[in-house]
Amino acid sequence: MTKTLRELSQDREEKILDHPLATRSSTSLGRQREEAEDPIRLSFQRDAHRILHCTAFRRLRYKTQVIFSPESDHVSTRVDHSLYMASIAQTISRALGLNQDLAYAIALGHDLGHGPFGHAGETALDKLWKRIDASQSFSHELHSLRVVDRLAFRPSTEEHGLNLTYEVRDGIVCHCGESTEQYLGPRAKPGPALEKIKRRGVVPFTLEGCVVRLADRIAYSGRDYEDALSVFGKMPALPRTVIRVLGADNRTIINNLVTDMIRTNLKTPERIGFSDDVFDAFTQLYQYNCKNIYYHPLLKEYAVRAENMLASIFDFELRELSSRRQTRWGLTADKDSEAVRELHHFIQKMYGKWDRPALSQIIIDHMSLMTDRYARSFFQEIFLPKPVG
C-alpha cells in the first residue's frame, strides 16, 4: 500500500531524530482544541508556519530590539532577532539530532508578547498594570503565550489563537531570554497547565526548548554589540577574555558559542549548555553589554520618554473605556478620533460580548500589540494639537 505524504514525512523524521531526548511529532501532547492533521506537514512545522503568517509576527518588524529606531536599516528589530535566533536554534538542533521544526517554531514565537519600545516598554506596562491591580505583572514570556493562545489569529479564519501544540507553547512561555544558566536540562513532567504559570524562569519540558532558551542569548549578545557600534560610533574595547575565547565580531561569537554548545551536549546528552571557559567569557560579554549598551545614557533617556508616552496612552484608554463601559461599550461615534475608533474595533474583534476581561487586561492586550510607530501615532493623535484650517 502506498504511503501518504504525511506518513513519508513521519518516516523521515524518525530517521533524522537520533538524539536520546529528541521530541517526536508523533508523541506530541497535542493541541488545546482537536483538529485534523495536515496532509503533508507534521505538527511542529505546521506550528512554525502559523506563527510566521500571523499578524503578531509581522508587527515585530516595527518593534524595538535594543536600539530605539525600528525604521532604521542599520539596527536589528524584534523580527530580525527572532529570525536570527530561529536559525541558531535550528542549526544546533540539526547538529545534535533534535527536532529542528520544534526549535524553529518556539524561536519564531518566543517574542510575540513584547510590547513597543523593547524592555523599556515591558517595564512600563508592568508598572502600569500593577498600579491598577497589584496582583498582576507583565512579562513578555508569559504574555507571548497569551498572544498565541488568545490574541493572534490564524490566516483566513476568525478563530482566536493559533491552537499550537503543547511543546511549542511550553517553549515559548519558558524561554526567559535574560536567564544566565550555564546548563539546562528539561523538566521531567509536563504540568502545570501552561496558562497558569505566573513566574519567569520555569525550565522547558523539551530539550529543544532548552536549546531555544540559550540560543536567545547567543542571538542578541554579539548582535547588540555590533548594532551599538553602528549607532554610537565608538565603543570601549571588549574584554580580552571575550576576544580570546569568543571573538571580536558577531559572526565569530555566534560560531564559537554554537560550536561549544554542540560539543558540550555530545558529552552530556541529558543537558545543554556551555563549557566553563566559554561560559565565563559569555558572562563577561553580557556584563559588558549591560554596562555599555543597555544602560547607555542615550538609551536610558529614550526609555524614560517611552515610559511617559505609554503611561499617557494607558491612562487615556482607562478613562475612555471606563466612561463608556456602562453606556455604549464597544461603540463609537463619527466625531471620535481614529485612535478611539480603532480601540473599540479591537475590543469588538478580540472579545465576545459577554466574556470581556477586566479593563486593565484589555488595555494591556491592546498596548502590547502596538508597534513603536503605532504607539507614537496613537499618542500624537490623542495628545498633540492638530492644525486648524
User: DSSP states of 176-212 as a string?
Assistant: -TT---SEE---SS--S-GGG--STTPPPSSHHHHHH
Which pLDDT value is given to residue 180?
A: 87
Among candidate residues 235, 251, 252, the one with its CA nearest the CA of residue 289 = 235
Which pLDDT value is given to residue 327?
A: 46
Domains and CATH numbers, the chain: 18-112+152-292 (1.10.3210.10), 298-383 (no CATH)
Predicted confidence (pLDDT) per residue in 130-169, tens digit: 999 999 999 999 999 999 999 998 767 777 899 999 999 9
What lies within 8 Å, CB to CB, of 53 at 6+ separation is 155
Among candidate residues 43, 153, 151, the one with its CA nearest the CA of residue 106 = 43
HEC profile for 45-82?
HHHHHHHHHCHHHHHHHHCECCCCCCCCCCCCEHHHHH
pLDDT (average), residues 170-194: 90
Q: Which of 77-81, 177-181, 232-236 has the lowest mean pLDDT?
A: 177-181
Three-class SS state of 165: strand
The rounded distance, in Å, linking the Cα atoms of 238 and 192 is 42
The rounded distance, in Å, linking the Cα atoms of 378 and 320 is 14
Percent of the chain with pLDDT over 70: 95
Which pLDDT value is given to residue 166?
A: 97
Contacts of the segment 329-338: beta carbons below 8 A, 24+ positions apart: 337/381, 337/382, 338/381
Among candidate residues 122, 132, 124, 111, the one with its CA nearest the CA of residue 357 = 132
Bridge partners (DSSP) listed for residue 77: 64
Q: How confident is the model at residue 329 (pLDDT cuts 50, 70, 90)?
A: low
Where do the DSSP E strands lie in the chain?
183-184, 272-273
Which pLDDT value is given to residue 148?
A: 97
